[in-house]
Amino acid sequence: MTELNVKRQALVNTADQFLLDIYGGLSQPQKSLPCKYFYDEKGSELFDQICQTDEYYHTRTELKILDDILPTVAGMIGPYVDILEFGSGAGIKIRKLINALEHPRSYTPIDISEEILLSSSHALQQEYPELEVHPVVADYLSPIELPASFADETAHRKLVFFPGSTISNFDMPDAIHFLKHIRSLLSPGDALLIGVDLVKPVPRLLAAYNDRQGVTAAFNLNLLHRIKATYDTDLNVDNFWHHALYNAEKHRIEMHLVSRVAQTVTIQGQSFVFKERETIHTENSYKFSIEGFRMMALNAGFDSTECFTDDANLFSVHFLTAT
């Protein structure tokens, strides 16, 4: 088996940073916790289960769109492309893209979870022996030193792949900033293929984040289980419940953990006071109009070459070209 050329960005101690983020988030007037901490081993398993629920349209809709459009995308991007994917995870969707492209040259997956990243990268290297696979272990929200195969401006055309509507989890200024960061990695004519969730009737949205099986609730509450398993704490997870709501003013779903009672929670010696029904804000998921996202992409240095949607206009995949 070909040996992988792995780049590892220096990461802060995960447990230490987690604790700092807990202290910082729970000290705010609106208590919060970063959604990136959802994805420990149990959280990742629960998210996979969410994707299988009847209510959660995102994953199966995007996969169907990709099945329909990737031959067209392959024609637009051309042969011998260098691919970069942020938050690659297990690498399910990238296989569809690789299979559609003509002789893709290299693939650079970036993920903070080294175990999952290396496992999926080894599997891809075995399945596609002609493809150069250059995994990067890093937090993609931090500055990253990319492999020469992708960083070389004189090399082949580049394609950034960012599926799953992960862009929806950014607040608007941060979303534009991240799109500008992607643009900074590309030369004029290079491309970004990105999944974007769309505005739709509120009942459909609320159902997707409050599934009848309670999987999303378990996923949200697992963040508290992770804190309890990691630190010395008197946290009682049963004293909280999951709540997802639609913020119409900001066009976003918000996920919260609601305190059932007035309580004081101590984590590693630091105490936090909760009023009854006070919440911890754990995630945002913004919903876009097609034109609204196109304007945001334009502001970040991209032209909207093509937008693909499903028949019900639940989800979109945008092919953007760097200007």
Q: Are residues 38 and 91 in the same domain?
A: no
Q: Are strands 136-137 and 158-162 parallel, antiparallel or unpaired?
A: unpaired
Which has the closest alpha carbon to 197: 310, 306, 93, 295? Answer: 310
Nearest one of 265, 323, 270 to 294, comparing CA atoms: 323
CB of 246 closer than 8 Å to CB of 206: yes
Give the model's pLDDT for residue 235: 98
For residue 2, being part of any structural domain is answered with no
pLDDT at residue 144 tops 80: no
pLDDT score recorded for residue 15:
66
* Number of structural domains the chain divides into: 2
Q: Same domain for 309 and 170?
A: yes
**Is 48 inside any structural domain?**
yes
Looking at the structure, tell me whether residues 164 and 130 fall in a common domain: yes
Range 74-97 average pLDDT: 90
State yes or no: pLDDT of 199 exceeds 60: yes
Same domain as 280, residue 210? yes
Say if residue 82 is in the same domain as residue 223.
no
The answer to whether position 141 is within a domain reads yes
Do residues 141 and 219 both lie within one domain?
no
| pTM for the whole structure | 0.91
Judge whether 10 lies within some domain: no
**Which secondary-structure segment (H or E) carries 282?**
strand 279-286
User: Do residue 186 and residue 235 come from a single domain?
Assistant: no
254 lies in a domain? yes
Tokens 């070909």 sit at which residue?
Answer: 2
Q: Give the model confidence (pLDDT) of 152-180 as tens digits.
A: 665 679 999 999 999 999 999 999 999 99
Query: 261, 268 in Cβ contact below 8 A?
Result: no
Q: Say whether 285 sits in a helix, a strand or coil.
A: strand
Q: Does 219 fall in a domain?
A: yes
Q: Which residue range forms the structural domain that includes residue 266?
A: 21-55+202-286
Contacts of 35 (CB under 8 A, 6+ apart): 169, 255, 282, 283, 284
Regarding whether 129 and 231 lie in a shared domain, the answer is no
Residues 46 and 68 in one domain: no
What is the model's pLDDT at position 1? 41
| Helix or strand (DSSP H, E) at 48 | helix 41-50
Closest CA to 20 of 30, 12, 8, 9: 12
274 shares its domain with 193: no
Q: What is the pLDDT of residue 18?
A: 92
Write the CATH number for 80: 3.40.50.150
> Are residues 76 and 150 both part of a single domain?
yes
Per the domain annotation, does 14 fall within a domain? Answer: no
Do residues 183 and 300 share a domain? yes
Residue 15 lies in a domain: no
